[in-house]
Homo-oligomer: A and B are copies of this chain.
Amino acid sequence: MALTSEQQQEIEAARAAEARTLRPTVPALEAMLFQAVPVLDHGFVRVIDYMGDDAAIVQAARVSYGRGTRAANEDRGLIRYLMRHRHSTPFEMCEIKFHVKLPIFVARQWIRHRTANVNEYSARYSILDREFYIPAPAQLAAQSAMNRQGRGNVLEGEEAARVLDLLREDASRNYDHYVEMLNEDEGGQPLDPSRQGLARELARMNLTLNAYTQWYWKTDLHNLFHFLSLRADAHAQYEIRVYAEAMMGMAEAWVPMAAGAFKDYRLGAVTLSAQMLAILRRMLTGEAVEQAGSGLSKREWRELMETLGRGE
């Protein structure tokens, strides 16, 4: 990420403008507010605004007239109870707004989460920056042989070098041609006065999917947790997971009790099917259960053994 000095100034100006408020305020999140946390090679995520805190979850659960909080450990117990029993509506009472810069192919995964508000930078209206995502060498993975959606070994040597060259050259050439077709310099003047310039809404189609876009993305805490449960998960694609991990850190600063409960009861939790539970009960009596007579498919059996820390 490289913010221009103008952008950095805008952020600093926003950070300088302190005001007084009666609203719930979270100093640990205020300390981060507006500041861009770098993600990938040119991306970032930053918190722009927030509403509510741990106490607002308690307040909503109690439908109270004042803050609604009691002793900290009572509040923590209530929040953990709500998370454990999937009472989701009190978590919806907190809201957060991010500004994210991200590759278009990541944006396409992200936008599938529908319960959020989004304003994306419009390439119909404006010209995108000359920035594309090129994976770091450690992320240049081969197709997994086991999992059609996954990654295998890291590419090395000539193959890795060739891939990086292709990604760089193609993105770069396509961007150059994008600007040529637009026929517009940075000041909005024609590069070649004899040409008209292609409409922006058309020229953008020449860009590659690793071009960076940016958006404002706002959601409530329940839906943020749902996003994080899918995208901070080990099965998520690396390029979106790094955003989710940065946002998880922000959530921990913002609502430490709720974020802790989320990690225990959702992110680190496992779900066992009715059949798996029956097998587990047999195992706990000391019975030696085998896949063959378990009623589980081989795949499910392997998943269960992994869950129980009994690989092979």
Contacts and interface: CB of A to CB of B under 8 A. Distances in A.
Interface in A161-183: 163, 166-167, 170-171, 173-174, 177, 180-182
Contacts of A49: 23-24, 51-52, 56
Interface residues of A, number: 136
Interface in A122-151: 122, 124-125, 133, 135, 139-144, 148-151
A271 to B, nearest CB: 5
A311 to B, nearest CB: 12
B13 A66 contact: yes
A97 B51 contact: yes
Given A60-B119, A108-B108, A283-B284, A270 B269 contact: no
B269 A263 contact: no
Contact of A89 (B20, B30, B65, B119): B119
A220 interface: yes
A66 to B, nearest CB: 3
A70 interface: no
Most buried by B among A112, A144, A202, A214: A202
A22 B14 CA distance: 7
Contact of A152 (B23, B33, B196, B207): B196
Contacts of A122: 149
A144 B22 contact: no
Contacts of A11: 65-66
A204 B274 CA distance: 35
Contact of A208 (B51, B120, B197, B206): B206
A185 to B, nearest CB: 14
Given A63-B119, A268-B273, A105 B204 contact: yes
Interface of A: 3, 6-7, 9-11, 13-15, 17-25, 30, 33-34, 48-52, 56, 59-61, 63-67, 77, 84, 86, 89-90, 92-93, 95, 97, 99, 103-105, 107-108, 111-112, 114-115, 117-122, 124-125, 133, 135, 139-144, 148-153, 155, 159, 163, 166-167, 170-171, 173-174, 177, 180-182, 184, 195-202, 204-210, 214-216, 218, 220, 230, 237, 263-265, 267-277, 280-281, 283-284, 297, 300, 307-310
Given A133-B205, A142-B196, A151-B202, 15 more contacts: A22-B34, A51-B97, A52-B97, A105-B205, A163-B181, A163-B198, A170-B173, A170-B177, A174-B174, A205-B209, A265-B271, A268-B274, A268-B277, A271-B271, A284-B310
19 contacts: A3-B65, A9-B66, A11-B66, A18-B22, A19-B20, A19-B22, A23-B23, A23-B49, A51-B97, A63-B99, A63-B214, A141-B198, A143-B199, A148-B200, A265-B271, A269-B271, A271-B271, A284-B284, A284-B310
